A = this chain, B = another copy of it.
């Protein structure tokens, strides 16, 4: 798919708009690079900032037609929907509390939505958005980007094929250290909104990174959370949202086995830059994947030596090679994984144009978004009740 020339259903670039992501925003640039990498999109319109001048300046800087540089997403949805050459898809890269509005507006205009996570700032909103998305004449893609890593696809395929046997254990963790000190009080915009319940919702670390870890664990294992017990903390004095989460997980029965798990998300853990890691053990084998070395998947069939599986290397399955671009030993990284979400979305959108479904295409959807918000709210409820077991309200 991602490699040029392999794409049989390729038929013209998708016109893409963006909400948020003006100058200085980190994630907007990531989305644009991800959209560009495989050349499925043309970026043509934006409501890049809530400040009109900043929106205009950002649009200019990015080479947008000033006419298609809008002051608000509402205006953008209205006008783009009316143009013959209007956008077919929009990327929403605002803080969490600003996802619902634009997502609703564009979906209702039949414009596909590629939205950052967590999908909304509350579970109620997420469910409402799900109802809207279910009725919309457009796709909804959630950028749980880590699911785009080829070796995560490999891991998922191996679990599905039974290489691990029945799953017993799911250990997920996502430690970072960038909020060890109160960065939100020393000028970091990233830190400001992520520690502000008005903009982020009820979850701090659990929302920002805990949802990624959970999503990835479920994506690979195919498991579903039955209940969880969470112990959240705000170690930095005065911080309003959690900056560390310890969570025990119980999963729904599958083949007679009820898997268990742990999830650790932290933003106050010196020594970790972006330490997302997934370990899954079953009756027949175990796997380990570390985000900072994403081209490797460790696989141990029980009773045999540990194997180092590499992206596009020996033993790579079609599920991983189809989202790889370059040979084994030539590392692909975060942007390539992110680009895979965009390219999967593109294949789905192009098929959608023709009333079809793209084969093999996999991407996170609004359902994953609801699961994420249910997770956040269950964690908060559990933690408020001294880590009592809570069933996510999906």
Contacts and interface: CB of A to CB of B under 8 A. Distances in A.
Interface of A: 3-5, 10, 12-13, 23-24, 26, 29-30, 32-33, 36-39, 58, 61-63, 164, 168-169, 171, 175-177, 180-181, 229, 231, 233, 235, 244, 246, 248, 250, 257, 260-262, 264, 266, 268-275, 279, 281-288, 291-295, 298-310, 313-315, 325-336, 386-387, 389
Contacts of A29: 3-5, 325
Contacts of A12: 63
Contact of A271 (B63, B269, B291, B306): B306
A259 to B, nearest CB: 9
B328 A274 contact: yes
A121 to B, nearest CB: 23
A30 B306 contact: no
Contacts of A332: 333-335
Contacts of A287: 271
A181 B172 CA distance: 23
A248 B246 CA distance: 7
Contacts of A336: 333, 335
Q: Which of A61, A281, A295, A309 has the most CB of B within 10 A?
A: A281
B331 A331 contact: yes
Number of copies: 4
Contact of A307 (B23, B39, B305, B386): B305
A12 B62 CA distance: 10
A16 B272 CA distance: 41
A188 B37 CA distance: 27
B260 A262 contact: no
A135 to B, nearest CB: 34
A241 to B, nearest CB: 16
A302 B180 contact: yes
A181 B282 CA distance: 11
Contact of A330 (B169, B274, B304): B274
Nearest 3 interchain pairs by C-beta:
A274-B329, A273-B329, A271-B286
Given A262-B264, A328-B273, A306 B307 contact: yes
Given A4-B62, A229-B229, 18 more contacts: A3-B29, A4-B32, A10-B61, A13-B63, A169-B268, A177-B281, A181-B302, A231-B260, A244-B260, A270-B301, A271-B279, A271-B287, A294-B331, A304-B315, A305-B307, A332-B334, A332-B335, A333-B335
Given A308-B305, A330-B274, A269 B246 contact: no
B30 A5 contact: no
B262 A233 contact: no
Contacts of A313: 273, 305
Contacts of A302: 177, 180-181, 270
